[in-house]
Structure 1
């Protein structure tokens, strides 16, 4: 009978739910703490930043208030000065005198030369304009009656008049200053000066600050944004609109309300500022994308003019700074809480490690017994190992002696290479001496003592060079202590070509020398530099044997802090199989008796001893190209 299978026990979901709850509970607490702390700290930091911004705005307002007052008061006394002129008084006494009126027109025209002054004019006791600075223009005030303007009534009452409004003739806004004109102690007319405030508004606009000036009724008369002008900050009553209609202060402007996005005025009723938002339509040069801009309004009263100067400061930076500071504070608190939690977790883990260590000690005690059993076997193995170590030490001593012998043999081989190299290098000067001696003898036979003397001089220099080449033997046996001096590259090339001249003629090779920079000098030893050029030139001449075109090009140039000597032949180039061994001693592709394979090896050693380098490549047009780089000698002559 088959037994019944035991059913698989279903997984209990409760432990999983509890574990997830224990894991998520601290995260939820931290999240809630971060939200509460972040919101509270953001509001606190924002309030502080708003307070500081309000204080800064008040300082800016005081600056703009002084600038505005200076502009308005600059011509305050000009109407009085005009009223003191005899021609003006004479015209008021004889209003029908045409010549007198023309004289006053010209006088007022001269007075109005300042670009801030829009127009100056003279009214009689009835408000009629008798003379004006714009008498030549089509919009001349002469003959017009402005008796309905408040500045006329103020002046006729013996008070200086101040009035801002839109001109009924020019349709241009301006600030009117007026003063009574006395004749024999009686007020017989009014002198008026209208000044422009456009330049002031342009300066506000360029400053980037959002500024506006509102009159006693809340109508914006000046603003850094043209769309704000002649709009009202507060609703206007019927009586106020009737008064404005009588004086025609703003002509036909509808004086629409300028409201924030919340539908409230940008200032409180008592003139205090508040936080608000304006859309891009109200801020054409601040938020052209149409998005609402967060602003803080602050104002200052101008009691002398019954105006209020208002500034709208951008709250974007304040909000960003408050957000950053709140985030930093919240993050710091969260890090502190997490550090405490990590410390608590670490403490608990330490206790767990101590318990585990105790368990390990018990296991270790059990293992010690087993280790003792293997100790005897290890002692035996250790003895065997010691014997092997002794044998290895003996072998190491033998290896050391063998290595020293090999090093000594290497030194002897190098000395042999250097001796062969010196012999190789002396062949060229000896050949040159033979040629020069034969030439000198022929010049003597032909009775040419000057040419013979020149050849003898060449013989002396070649002999000196042979002496210097022999003296270089110690350079290849140990590191040279010779001091590098500035060497003229052109002279070194000329001397080297002189040494290979006979060989060049015998091989029918054409040599072309081009100097990209005149007077190129490098830090080197002239003997060793000439030796390298001779070696490379001889190799090039040999490589072109049997070639259709036999041309050797030598070019010099400056590249960075190095002088470059480049030799290019028209031979068959360098075989790819030769590349790995090109600069190895005693490696040569020449026939037996043509060379020992030391020229390039010695040349590279010399280049490196001169703190330079020697490289080879195949030229794109055929033939081989060798490039010698040496440090420049700048300003050392």
Structure 2
């Protein structure tokens, strides 16, 4: 046990070291990520701070260059307005003067590098221009709508910026009125082309923008940013810009700024979505350092957008180098730790191998199962004490003997498997070479012991060997014998019990048939009881026709004696009709009285009601009960005509009895028909005293009756309930609010195949 404790302690220590290294690795990884991130951020902030200082100087230089370059053109309209040739051309309008003026304007533009110079009359019409040779010359164009013309006509120095409607070039306009004897006779205009500055600053490390007072990009070194607005413009502002024709139909869109980070000096880090449309809002992102300052002369703002791509690439490179250095250091440290671990595990494995060998020997010697090792030829090499305990004597003489000298399979056909060739054949199609058989251990004169043998192959480093395991099955065999005997006994008891159940089932079927016969007899008895109650009315119905027949027959004899054959023939016709009427009455009672089972089929509800009325009509006439029947609704139900008539006759008879028990009530019975999609309901309500609470509780129980003694068997409603349920319906009863009782029979509506 001391060896086990030693190795368990080593395992615990090893697990603790593993956990320590895991946690150490996590801490180092976290610290490395934080160092890379924080260091990169610090370096980025430092680079941006330096870039802000440099960009501020560049912005000042750019603003000065732009302002000085444009300022030299602001006095040119004043000089042109004081030129005598200009005044002469405006005053006289001679062709020679205008042609000479065109040449002078062209020369002035060539010297001053201005874009265009031109002279407008008081109507805004261009009479002379420096571009008179061009196809798109301003001569003949009317610019009275431009604000610089209106300002000059009012005697002021005009300034304006716009996209030229004729040249389609962006420019800044300076204008001045031309005076003659104190009156304004025209306007001198000089246009400065701003694209020259875009070309001049196109290859700088930054992008420059000229922003008008509405923050619209009027000029830029990046063509895709032209006519983009920084910020938001209201609908009124957009309409005002469109009405001024400043941008001559150009679409004003918003420059898509994804993110802004302001600084204290007014500069910003902005992330712009390059080439992103206003609708999609998608495109590559580019970060810039944005700085701007106003140009007082033009009422513009100049802005620089310095890309941060170089700084970001520098930071990414620094982070990569730093992370790579840390990674290499960690890998070297890990290799050292891994080598040390491999040496330690190799020593541990050698020690564990020695421990396992000792442990296996101890397990083999102390295991309860019998173990035997065989050589490659299936001959006994060694065994443990458990095998000797199973067989009850020493087995040393069996060493070197084949396994068949110790074990005999239960199935003699499998004895061939005890050889090496038989073992290989038996385990050829199995995933592992393991063979299990039941048999007996035997040696000498000792009785054999039932065992389960497991033979498996062991691939040792230097040779092939086999391990055989024997498990004692003495108790298991005993239990199997007991289970077999119990199973045979149980099968015998099951056969006996099955014979008894079959006899009981036969008797039960006989009782069911007897019960059905009894039920049919009860139904027939109820029919006959109703017929007995109706016998007086039946006699009355038959006596009247019989009396008339006798009278007609006597008269007929007299008419025949007298030779009055026509009167005799008429009397015989009356006798025939009365006989047919009596036959119909007797036929209804015969059909009502016949025996039989419920035969399902389509029946007309109105026909069943009229059949019941033919039977009960004489009694209702005898006692003077008014019978009200709703008109035929054409309802058809699924049931048996005779049994439905029996139910209706029973309900009509009960209604008559209830009315006769209340002589002071009105004598009236009403039959109504209603229907839903699936059922038809027939209701019979009387004008009697209604049902008592006790009668409602026990109304459909056999032999229960609320009639006086001797006037009923108490079977009518019980039998009626069984008949209705046999036809798939139900019967119910309740008291009406207006007085009297109401019995309702609900039957399934007949559904034809067509529907």
Q: What interval of TM-score do these two structures reach, taking the shorter chain for normalisation?
A: 0.3 to 0.5
Structure of higher RCO (CA pairs closer than 8 Å, 6+ residues apart): 1
**Structure with more of its chain in strand, by fraction:** 2
Larger Rg: 2
